[in-house]
Amino acid sequence: MKVVAALEPRTTAEVVDAVRSHDRLVVRGGCTKPALSTATDSAVAVDIAGLTGIVEYDPNEFTVTALAGTRVSEVTGLLAANGQYLPFDPPFVAAGATLGGSVASGLSGPNRYRFGGVRDFIIGVRLVDGRGDEVRGGGKVVKNAAGFDLPKLMVGSMGRLGIMTEITFKVFPAPKAWRTLTVAMQGIDDALETIMRLGSLPLDLEAVELTPTATLNVRIGGLEETLEARIQRLERAIGRGDGRALSGDVEQAFWKELREFRWLPDEHKLVKVPVTPTRVTPLHERLDRAGATVRYGVGANVAWVAWPGEMQELDRLLSALELPGLVLIGPPESPRIGHVAGRSFAARIKSVLDPARRFSEV
């Protein structure tokens, strides 16, 4: 790998200039998902960490607009001071993730269970596409149906359709207080059954995560006076009787550990695998046999795989199960592994936004 100095644009005009004057580019923000932001071959890195600042925030509007290089922590701090939050719960916040990187990687955290992921909260975007044109999609109001949904297209685009310069999110009032119930289950199948059962009960759950080995962690939030009764009700619904309720700083720290992936063992790659509850069992058996450590998030809709081996091996494993994968920490050459849906449709879009292939394939 050849090391080339990174470009550090501080304005949109400089981003336009960077795109127009280079043949091969890789965008990077906080570099917390290095498999998506490391330059390979002859590509030049464009570092957007200097493109920073809150552009617009009025708590009454439930929206926040900021430049793409703004650290997520700056936004969540500002929101928290006003009793609001990003309900999609972006990961790697303490590690320095930027808004642009969070959208481009398409990552959401545990609290995504309640109201939705980054795709559900991005409402506007400005970007410099691969032609060097500054374009815009969506807007700054919470509801908008004009034009094609470019903001959603940016989610998971890995910076390979253009360089986002400004992003608008819908935000929500944050729960005033939180509690978490942690329960040891009798194996993964028992845990999955419970997750599916909880899913159809009329309970307002903020997060439902499964940690090794077969520990179910369920988070609730809201007005303090409601939490005790709700935790008891949740305990009855799970029906194990030996749960542990977390609150206060301990509770916050527990979720931060998950969100920041501090549990990732040394020398392991990190791969996101979208899945559904009934497809977890065969996946888990194979991953377990290969010595991987796995956490299942969002009610078993995503597997966060800490992979000890070669990437090709996991690629084959996922392909055999027709599951997709996204490498976040690991070799940067081809971050999308396993089953890839909609490739030809993506190619049509790529041919418009980046016809000269300045960025890698999506």
Among 16, 302, 311, 317, binds another protein (CB under 8 A): 302
Minimum CB distance to another protein smaller for 71 or for 337: 337
Q: Which of residues 142-201 bind another protein (CB under 8 A)?
A: 142-150, 152-158, 161, 172-174, 176, 196, 199-201
Q: Does 135 bind another protein (CB under 8 A)?
A: yes
Minimum CB distance to another protein smaller for 72 or for 280: 280
Minimum CB distance to another protein smaller for 292 or for 326: 326
Q: Does 332 bind another protein (CB under 8 A)?
A: no
Three-state SS for 219? strand
Provide the token pair at 8: 């550090």
Among 34, 96, 274, 331, binds another protein (CB under 8 A): 274
Least distance between another protein and beta carbon 2 (Å): 27
Task: Report the distance separating Cα 218 and Cα 110, nearest Å.
Answer: 10
- Given a contact cutoff of 8 angstroms between Cβ atoms, the answer to whether 68 and 51 are in contact is yes
> What character string, x for contact with another protein (CB under 8 A) and - otherwise, covers 19-58?
---------------------------------------x
Among 9, 137, 243, 330, binds another protein (CB under 8 A): 137
Stretch touching another protein by CB under 8 A, among 23-31, 177-185, 245-253, 298-306:
298-306
- C-alpha pair distances (Å), 262 with each of 93, 145, 196, 251, 277: 12, 39, 27, 16, 24
Short-list 121, 194, 136, CA closest to 166: 136
Minimum CB distance to another protein smaller for 28 or for 126: 126
Three-state SS for 292? coil
Task: Report the distance separating Cα 130 and Cα 119, nearest Å.
Answer: 22
Least distance between another protein and beta carbon 129 (Å): 7
Among 64, 238, 298, 317, binds another protein (CB under 8 A): 298
Stretch touching another protein by CB under 8 A, among 26-34, 46-54, 177-185, 340-348:
340-348
Q: Which of residues 64-123 bind another protein (CB under 8 A)?
A: 83, 106, 108, 112, 115-117, 119-120
Provide the token pair at 62: 């439930």
Least distance between another protein and beta carbon 299 (Å): 8
Task: Report the distance separating Cα 294 and Cα 315, nearest Å.
Answer: 16
What are the beta bridge partners of residue 64? Answer: 57, 169
Stretch touching another protein by CB under 8 A, among 12-20, 23-31, 68-76, 129-137:
129-137
- Given a contact cutoff of 8 angstroms between Cβ atoms, the answer to whether 294 and 189 are in contact is no
Kindly compute the dihedral angle of the four CA atoms of residues 280, 286, 287, 291, in this order, to the nearest 10 degrees. Answer: 150
Minimum CB distance to another protein smaller for 29 or for 297: 297
Cα angle 274, 276, 277 (rounded to 5 degrees) comes to 135
Residue 208 host element (H or E) = strand 207-211
Minimum CB distance to another protein smaller for 324 or for 331: 324
The single residue listed with the structure tokens 């599951």 is 323
Binding residues with another protein: total (CB under 8 A)? 86
Least distance between another protein and beta carbon 347 (Å): 9
Task: Report the distance separating Cα 40 and Cα 44, nearest Å.
Answer: 8
Minimum CB distance to another protein smaller for 1 or for 60: 60
Name 356's Cβ contacts closer than 8 Å, sequence gap at least 6. Answer: 23, 130, 131
Residue 103 host element (H or E) = helix 99-105
Among 9, 130, 139, 332, binds another protein (CB under 8 A): 139
Q: Which of residues 208-267 bind another protein (CB under 8 A)?
A: 222-223, 225-226, 229-230, 233
Minimum CB distance to another protein smaller for 8 or for 116: 116
Minimum CB distance to another protein smaller for 1 or for 223: 223
Short-list 114, 169, 109, 107, CA closest to 138: 169
CB-side neighbour CA atoms (13 Å) of 165: 21
